[in-house]
Amino acid sequence: MPSLNTFTLTQSSNLDCSQVDGICSLSCQDSDLDCFVIDNNGFILISKRSQETGRFLGEVDGSVMTYLLNMGVFSQVTMYDYQAMCKMSHHHHNGGRHLLSPIYWIVTAAKWLMSELFMFFLEWGTWGCWQWESRAEAKAIFHHSHKLKKQDILQPCDTEYPVFVYQNSIQETNGIMECGGCRKMFVIQQIPNSNLLLVVTDSTCDCSMFPPVLQEATEVKYNASVKCDRMRSQKLRRRPDTCHAFHPEENAQDCGGAAENLASITLLLLPLGTWVLLR
């Protein structure tokens, strides 16, 4: 595989080769050049900046990826995820949802009062047997649990996202992009016997006017008829051939015995007595 530090370009590449006849050699150690080794799906494997490794080329340099898509070097394919999780929409079509009853506000106020009392007892030593570090840790856990409860609720959904595939028929290509007050040149070469590509761009020209090319997933919205067809096409679970409602070795008198369990007064008074003794 060719080294990332040195590579050869033809005169038509226009990367500092205008004064050279035939083939010229350039180095990725040049501060005016950005060099990337990407795979056939556009993900960066090698870069001058380690934080760019593993990221999508369109996210790092949207101008080059946009130009490669327009030239047909990469093609976009839409993929679907039928096991995704999406945020539940809080939009309600019924206007009566906002007309909350007074009971809702009473319950909300009671929950707030209970949480404040809990934090008050926790901070002012009602559980005196705890160390200060334990109380601080418990307080952090309490706030973290409340924060988790406020997160968005997820529900199963279908999503679609773009995937970009390199066209193997193109071994090498180059181009020039107009970026307002400058022109950005680039060249792309296929690395022999691999699915990797060497991308070299001019870093002196700012092409931030081009938006990044992202691979964000979007939820697929189905209308009523398509949604019903998808539900019908899903494979149903096969019911068992026979029904097993009982077992001959099962004692029916053992069922429902948990309803007779009562709270133990001893266990309820034991923590209180221990707390009094420690005080």
Could you report the per-residue pLDDT of 90-131, keeping only the tens digit for each? 555 555 555 566 777 788 888 888 888 877 776 665 445 445
> Across residues 133-144, what is the average pLDDT?
55
Residue 134 has pLDDT above 60, yes or no: no
Task: Compute the average pLDDT of residues 118-147.
Answer: 57
Identify the band that residue 162 occupies on the pLDDT scale cut at 50, 70 and 90. Answer: very high
Instruction: Please report whether residue 161 resides in a domain.
Output: yes
Rounded to whole angstroms, the Cα distance separating 187 from 174 reads 4
Residue 122 located in a structural domain: no
Length of the chain: 279
**How many domains does one find in the chain?**
1
Range of the domain at 68: 6-89+154-233
> What pLDDT is attached to residue 13?
45
| pLDDT over 70 percentage in the chain | 68
End-to-end Cα separation, the chain, in angstroms: 75
Q: Is residue 114 part of a domain?
A: no
Q: Is the residue at 129 inside a domain?
A: no
In a domain, 14, yes or no: yes
Note whether residue 226 is domain-resident: yes
Residue-wise DSSP of the chain: ---SSEEEEEGGG-SS-TTSSSEEEEETTSTTEEEEEE-TTSBEEEESSGGGTTSBHHHH-HHHHHHHHHHTSEEEEEEEEEEEEEEPP---S-GGGGS--HHHHHHHHHHHHHHHHHHHHHHTTSSTTS-HHHHHHHHHHHHHHHHHHTSPPEEEEEEEEEEEEE-TT--EEEEEEE-SSSEEEEEEEEPTTSS-EEEEEETTS--TTSPP-----EEPPP-HHHHHHHHHHSPPPPPPSS-----TT--GGGTTGGGG----HHHHHHHHHHHHHH-
> Is pLDDT of 133 > 70?
no
91 or 207: which carries more pLDDT confidence?
A: 207
**Res. 7: pLDDT tops 90:** no
- Kindly report the backbone phi and psi dihedral angles of residue 159, in degrees, each rounded to the nearest multiple of 5, phi listed first: -130, 160
152 CB neighbour count, 10 Å cutoff? 10
Distance CA(206)–CA(252), nearest Å, equals 79
Within a domain: residue 255? no
pLDDT (tens digit per residue) in 13-63: 445 555 545 555 677 888 888 899 999 999 999 998 889 999 999 999 999
Residue 1: its pLDDT value, please? Answer: 44
Distance CA 172, CA 190 (A): 6
Is residue 143 a part of any domain in this protein?
no
Model pLDDT, residue 199: 92
Q: How is the beta sheet containing 218-219 ordered, strand by strand?
A: 74-87, 154-166, 218-219
